[in-house]
Amino acid sequence: MCGIFGFIAHARDTSLSRDALERCAEEIAHRGPDAAGCYIGRNFGFAHRRLSIIDLDPRSNQPFVEADTGIVITYNGEIYNFRELRVALEKGGAIFRTASDTEVICKAFARWGPDCLHKFRGMFAFALHDPRSQATFLVRDRLGIKPLYYADTPTGLAFASQPSAILRWPGVNASIDPIGVSSFLSFRAVFGERSLFSNIKKMPPGTWMRLQGGERVHERWWSPAPGEMESSRIHHMIGAAVEEHLVADTPVATLLSGGLDSSIVAYEITNRSSVKPTCFTGVVEGEDYDESPFAAEVAAVIGAPHRLVPLTSTTDIETVTRLTALRCHPLGMHNETAMHLLAQRVGADYKVVLTGEGADELFAGYSRIYRLPFDLMRHSGLAWIPARFGRTLRQHIGLPNERCSEFELFLNQYAYFPIDEKLSLAKKAWSHAINNDETLIGWMKEAYLSAGDNPAARIARFFVDHHLTALLEMVDNTTMAAGVEARVPFTDHRIVERALSMRPAERLRWRSRWAAVKAFTTPISSFSERLDVSKVPLRDSYTQVLPSSVITRKKLGFPLPLGRWAAGEESRPFRDLLFKSTPAIADFIDVGALRGWYDAKAARASDAFGRQFWLISNLEIFLRQH
């Protein structure tokens, strides 16, 4: 895994500055501490920062020039089946001069063109120039595991692994996108092709762009094609994916939270190889939040070394500020600092770590949202009850009093900062700039309703297409900020396609018929994973090999007591940024309204409030940096 940057000029014969290319690449030096390189062609320049994992020899440094065709590439990622592809290419006469997957990409592109992408199993974002056609391609992997941004300038197009590198290039507009700000506050991510910068866009997952002769072509090269297979066979797919993700010329470690997903990954490493991976577990202060006993139990069962990493500064403002600068993005998830601190410890001994991200999105781990069809049924059923009683029951179970559409119910469940509550804090100029959030809501509505032909299918596809992409970028950025490559075997595209073909009851089931009846008058927050069971295929497949305490326990995510933090003394440095002087966020938010909102919310100090305050204060830190 690495960091890439480049510029493609409109004019065919353009003199590009090596110093300018290297300055931009220096912004992402943390992504590749092992080597740096630069290549300048007739109308393009590529720069690269390398984290050496496959073929550690300098011959595989980048930008890489393929000897036979002159194809030039700057590439970030791993092709896990590159050795298999190399054999196929050699049978066709290809001669290799390195042992890298980088050279395999170049020769595959030379042989098959963009169709070669369908043969790749892995994670990747790259730019490739083919001198035979004078075409330059930008490519992003199927799920968006590897980030890729680009920006148009008056003289060409700049691209990079992170916006910070693009912002250093002359002619790039660094203004903040008001709709991007709104998306971040509501959903803790900027969805679609937008970023937090008006002129910088994200390459969508599963797409490529070709620049040739002054023309630009975008094409989607992959969309999930649901595949049929018995649920009982899913563990074979997971095991095979984990085995492929072990491909490396350096040792591989794994993160082990003690939850189901990371435990499966750790188990499959030992099951599929002779490797006993070192398992790293973050330990959060506070008895209620310590998952390390579960992790220790799993490590003992699989016979793997186990290291505990104290996480004592996860909400420290200096840690947050530094990581925000490295990410060039506010921290939307309160576990980002924890992930980064873990990666720092892993990075002292390893360059590669496997993680369990993706399982929740694929197998209904977020049951409170995956139960939307149940809420729709309840909402419709209550319409037949007299208004006075129906209103009381709706309030009790957390449903809107008014009639609402499926999308409105989804938005109400999904948003971290409800739209109306956010707009109540907005300055008029910002409300006007974002059209009172009509633009954002319109995009969300189209993305959701076009994702499937029924509520369950829409939720599943939305999580894969949008929620998962944002999560994967977080994982990439927080680990790469420590010079560590995170690999996510659950996001193997074959597993994704199989998961999307499952019926809702295959992924999420009631514990009993009585549980389903009882749930009708119970808020989702109260019955989620108490009256129902999430990630059923995973629990069923691994019940014989993992401790029962892990198989049956409720999802915690990365547990941090955020409500208590937001209302307490630990958050004072963040509050001082917002309330002791004119904050940068005052361009968007009415500070007086924000102060009143904080005082009222802090009196109850729920974790929902903690997440909202985290979003606001982290946005403030980001805006001060830009």
**Where is the binding site, in residues?**
101, 255, 284
Burial class (CB in 10 A: 0-12, 13-18, 19+), 383: exposed
Place of tokens 């990493």: 309
Interacting residues of 435 by C-beta distance below 8 A, sequence separation 6+ = none
Beta bridge partners of residue 38, listed in sequence order? 47
DSSP 8-state secondary structure symbol assigned to residue 453: S
Catalytic residue among 2, 38, 279, 328: 2
46: phi then psi, degrees, rounded to nearest 5: -120, 140
Distance CA 233, CA 240 (A): 11
Strand order from edge to edge, sheet including 215-220:
64-65, 72-79, 122-130, 135-140, 207-212, 215-220
| DSSP per residue, 538-568 | HHHHHTTTS-HHHHHSPP--S---HHHHHHS
Distance CA 144, CA 349 (A): 27
2 counts as catalytic:
yes
Cβ pair 57, 98 in contact under 8 A: yes
Find the farthest-apart pair of alpha carbons in the chain and give their distance in angstroms, rounded: 78
Distance CA 579, CA 599 (A): 12
**Strand (E) or helix (H) holding 6:** strand 2-9
Distance CA 589, CA 285 (A): 33
Cβ pair 532, 509 in contact under 8 A: yes
Cβ pair 309, 282 in contact under 8 A: yes
Distance CA 584, CA 582 (A): 7
CA distances from 485 to 52, 78, 260, 322 (A): 10, 10, 22, 19
Distance CA 133, CA 211 (A): 11
Distance CA 222, CA 205 (A): 8
**Residue list, annotated binding site for L-glutamine:** 101
Cβ pair 117, 110 in contact under 8 A: no
Interacting residues of 391 by C-beta distance below 8 A, sequence separation 6+ = 401
Nearest 5°: the CA angle 114, 120, 124 is: 85
| DSSP per residue, 252-303 | EEEE--SSHHHHHHHHHHHHHSS--PPEEEEEESSGGG--HHHHHHHHHHHT
Distance CA 98, CA 602 (A): 59
**Residue list, annotated binding site for ATP:** 255, 284
Distance CA 465, CA 443 (A): 13
Cβ pair 6, 47 in contact under 8 A: yes
C-alpha neighbours within 13 Å on the C-beta side of residue 548: 0
- Name the residue type at position 350: Y
Question: What dihedral angle (degrees, nearest 10) is formed by the CA atoms of 186, 192, 197, 198?
Answer: -110
Rounded (10°) angle between helices 591-602 and 572-579: 150
Q: Tell me the catalytic residues.
A: 2
